[in-house]
Structure 1
Amino acid sequence: MRTAGIFIRGIGVFLPETVSIEQAVKEGLYSEADAELHELGGAAVAGDVPAPEMGLRAARQALERCEQKPSELDVLLYADSWYQGPDGWQPQYYLQRHLDAGDMLAVEIRHGCNGMFSALELAAAYLLGGGAPSPDGRARNALAVSADNFGTPLMDRWTTAPGYVAGDGACALVLSTAPGFARLLAVRSSAVAAAEGMHRGDEPLFPPGPTVGHSLDFAARNTEFRRRSIADGSGTAVLVQIHQLTLEVVERTLEEAGIGLDDVTRVAYMNHSREVVEQRCMAALGLPMSASTWEFGRTVGHLGASDQAVSLERLVSTGALGPGDHLLMLGVGPGVTISCAVVQILATPPWRG
């Protein structure tokens, strides 16, 4: 989806203190073998700080940085991949209330690790589809937020999946039809539905696992999926399809953004192990690991749907991305869904001084 006319005016992040891999190994939470194999550095751990509270803090920072009035937001999109609070309750209204953001449309997005990409795509469509400016003459604005706290009894952040440890955190982006420090050039998602069993395994659909106390174990589910796919001969074809679709989504997103791979300054992938980032992303694109955000991502863990936006904030805040640079954001989520976005930095943001 080409998103000409959509700008990023503000960005906010909340990251709690990290627990190092060395400490996790010492406490028996993580194995020495995995520490050596995956080269991860640690995970951000929020303790008992609720995910919506982290999201609220990130949202406030994003709004303050661009001096955006919450009352002038047109839509709030809240992406998450883990439980947020009481059953039957939705977290986006917590932010809407505490930001004093009025009666705008507020929606929760449950699209796993790719939820922020979905928020970007939906926000852009909402802002552009509604026309610019708004009927009262002002720019149209959207707030996209993602937050997760994985420190719950039904999940072990250190062992739930191979190749990463789960970190807690939140991010927020203020998108607008008014100019900002960056521009969202394009965003796209596509799915390999044949791989939906990869994150389901042999677990029954009813009753839902959490309602009967089943913990989340993607490692076990992936093993079950591989066993089935080997038996019916579908496994290799599905993996090839995922790889091919990844390249296609990147190619089409770059084309819609009007740039080539040579124009990409940095790549923000998921905060996974070195071998996953290198083999599934950087080497697949023909780019060096030095262009990735792995060195930072390895220190905070996989932050659900927040990885890429948190990396964007880090790159801009440290000056690693400057005016004229392009960031390619790429993610893979249950589905299997492949998502990609291209962001162009236009100026040094005012909050950097």
Structure 2
Amino acid sequence: MRTSGVFFQGLGVHLPPTVTVEEAVAAGWYPAEEVELHELAGVAVAGEVPAPEMALAAARTACERAGRRPEEVGLLLYADSWHQGPDGWQPQYHLQRHLTGGDALAVEVRQGCNGMFGALELGAAHVRAGGGDRPGTALLVAADNFGTPMLDRWRMGPGYLAGDGASAVLLAGEPGFAELLSVRSLAVPEAEGMHRGDEPLFPPGPTVGRPLDFAARNRDYKRAALGDGRGTVALVRVHQRTLEVVDRVLAEAGVDLGEITRVAYMNYSREIVEQRCTAPLGLPLARSTWEFGRTIGHLGASDQVVALDHLLAAGELVPGDHLLMLGVGPGVTVAAAVVRILRPAPWRAADASRERRGDSE
């Protein structure tokens, strides 16, 4: 979807302290043989801080950085991958109570690790539609705390570790520091069983205390599907659709791959990032955000937005640069977006000014 005229006005990130893989190995949480194999460095661990509280912190930062009153938000989208609180309760209303008020439409987005891409598509459509008494503002939030008894963050799946954190984006129709040029999601329905394995659909796992183990599900899927070739076909199709979604968003953005400054992919191991992202695109690993992502873990739906915030803070994206955001999630879905940096993030200028005043004093 071409989304010119939709702008990033604010970003917010909440990242808790990290636990290193060396600490995890010493504690017996992480297999020592996987340290060198995957080259992951650590994960952000929130302890007992609820995901909705991290979401609230990130959302407040996004609004403050944008200089926007939260009550002006016309649409609130809350993306998550894991349980947020009591069953039967929805987390977006926690943000309405404590931040935006109750006039905006508030919806939970359950698209797994690609939830923020789905929120970008829905939020961009809202901004472009305008109208009403609150035209053109959307607050997109993603948050997860994976530190629960039914999930082992250190053995969640092959080649990645589950990190906690939250991110937020404030979209509007008025020019901001960056423009969302395009965003799109595609599905590979024939690979639906890849994240399900042999697990029954009913009763749902959490209702009977069944842990989430993507590694085991993946083994089950391969055992059942690879024997007759269905699994191989599905994996090839995921690769094809990944290239297809990148081609589409680049064409819709009017940007060539050579104009892409950096690529923000999932916070996975080196070999996965190379095999599924940079090598197929013909880009060096250094153009990705792997070096940063390996230190904080896979943050559910927040990986790409947290990477954007990091690149801006580090001065690795400047006006005129383009960021390609790329992701994959259960379904299987593949998604991508192109963001153009228009001017320095205003909060970075404020931070620099405070730093100069501190130095002079």
For the residues of structure 2 that align with 1:195 and 1:102, how far apart are their CA atoms?
A: 39
Task: Give the CA deviation at 1:199.
Answer: 0.4
Paired residue type of 2:30: Y
Alignment of 1:204-243 (within 5 A): 204-243=200-239
What secondary structure is seen at the aligned counterpart in 2 of 1:142? strand
Question: 2:73 touches 2:100 (CA, 8 Å); kept in 1?
Answer: no
Task: Give the CA deviation at 1:139.
Answer: 5.2
Provide Cα deviations, 1:249-285, integer angstroms capped at 9, x if missing partner: 0001100000010000000000000000011100010
Whether 1:41 aligns to 2:41 is yes
For the residues of structure 1 that align with 2:258 and 2:229, how far apart are their CA atoms?
A: 38
Whether 1:303 aligns to 2:299 is yes
Question: 2:126 touches 2:136 (CA, 8 Å); kept in 1?
Answer: no
Unaligned 5+ segments in structure 1 are: none
For the residues of structure 2 that align with 1:230 and 1:349, how far apart are their CA atoms?
A: 48
What secondary structure is seen at the aligned counterpart in 2 of 1:99? helix
Whether 1:86 aligns to 2:86 is yes
Whether 1:70 aligns to 2:76 is no
Whether 1:249 aligns to 2:248 is no
Provide Cα deviations, 1:307-329, integer angstroms capped at 9, x if missing partner: 00000000011110000000000
For the residues of structure 1 that align with 2:260 and 2:15, how far apart are their CA atoms?
A: 27
What secondary structure is seen at the aligned counterpart in 1 of 2:319? coil
What secondary structure is seen at the aligned counterpart in 1 of 2:11? strand
Question: 1:12 touches 1:172 (CA, 8 Å); kept in 2?
Answer: yes
Paired residue type of 1:22: E
Task: Give the CA deviation at 1:128.
Answer: 1.2
Moved over 6 A (4+): none
% identical aligned pairs: 66
Provide Cα deviations, 1:217-253, integer angstroms capped at 9, x if missing partner: 0000000000111232212111111111100100011
* Corresponding residue of 2:6: 6
For the residues of structure 1 that align with 2:132 and 2:190, how far apart are their CA atoms?
A: 44
What secondary structure is seen at the aligned counterpart in 2 of 1:155? coil
Whether 1:106 aligns to 2:106 is yes
| TM-score, structure 2 as length reference | 0.95
What secondary structure is seen at the aligned counterpart in 1 of 2:295? helix
Provide Cα deviations, 1:134-170, integer angstroms capped at 9, x if missing partner: 445x752100000000000000000010100000000
Task: Give the CA deviation at 1:181.
Answer: 0.1
| TM-score, structure 1 as length reference | 0.98
Whether 1:144 aligns to 2:137 is no
User: How large is the RMSD of aligned CA atoms in angstroms?
Assistant: 0.9
What secondary structure is seen at the aligned counterpart in 2 of 1:158? helix
Paired residue type of 1:205: L
Task: Give the CA deviation at 1:101.
Answer: 2.8
Provide Cα deviations, 1:315-351, integer angstroms capped at 9, x if missing partner: 0111100000000000000001000000000000111
What secondary structure is seen at the aligned counterpart in 2 of 1:183? strand
* Corresponding residue of 2:121: 121
Provide Cα deviations, 1:28-75, integer angstroms capped at 9, x if missing partner: 000111111000000000000000000000000010011111111100
Question: 2:264 touches 2:304 (CA, 8 Å); kept in 1?
Answer: yes
For the residues of structure 2 that align with 1:76 and 1:317, how far apart are their CA atoms?
A: 25
Paired residue type of 1:94: H
